[in-house]
Amino acid sequence: MTDTLRRVMIVDDDIIMHDVMKMMLQPKFDLRLCFNVKQAREALAKWVPDVICVDLMMPGENGLVLLQYARELPDLEHVPFIVISATSDENFFNEARRLGATSLLFKPFSRIDLIRAIETALEAS
């Protein structure tokens, strides 16, 4: 058995969320942090995560755009997506599910909630 850390990509436009999620997840996971969909696409060209946690609402391209992009690529089509948002708009969540989101996580969330969502996504993949 190896002790390789599972790879988690965090895509969120909020630097505070980056800091909070780093504190919640390190050193348990190998993290890549991106502030927008463009950065995430560039990172995904070089590094395939085991799970992607993406904020639904971001300026410019939103989390649904990244989810759709990933589902069209053979290397990423089966990577679990955890969609994170403070919004309660059912239309966004229905679209996320239609595009293949693994789970939804509402802000604010606890460390336990985040780790449980990631571990559940990893087990299901």
Mean pLDDT by 10 residues, the chain (125 residues): 83 97 96 98 97 95 96 94 89 91 93 97 90
How many helices and strands (H and E) does the chain possess? Answer: 5, 5
pLDDT tens per residue, range 13-38: 999 999 999 999 999 999 999 999 99
pLDDT recorded at residue 3: 65
Q: What is the pLDDT of residue 64?
A: 96
0.85 exceeded by the pTM?
yes
| Residues 60-85 as b or e (16 or more Cβ within 10 Å = b) | eebbbbbbebbeeeeebeebbbbbbb
* Containing structural domain, residue 27: 1-57+74-88
Any domain includes 28:
yes
Q: Domain for residue 116, yes or no?
A: no
As for how many domains the chain has, the answer is 1
Q: What is the CATH number of the domain that holds 4?
A: 3.40.50.2300
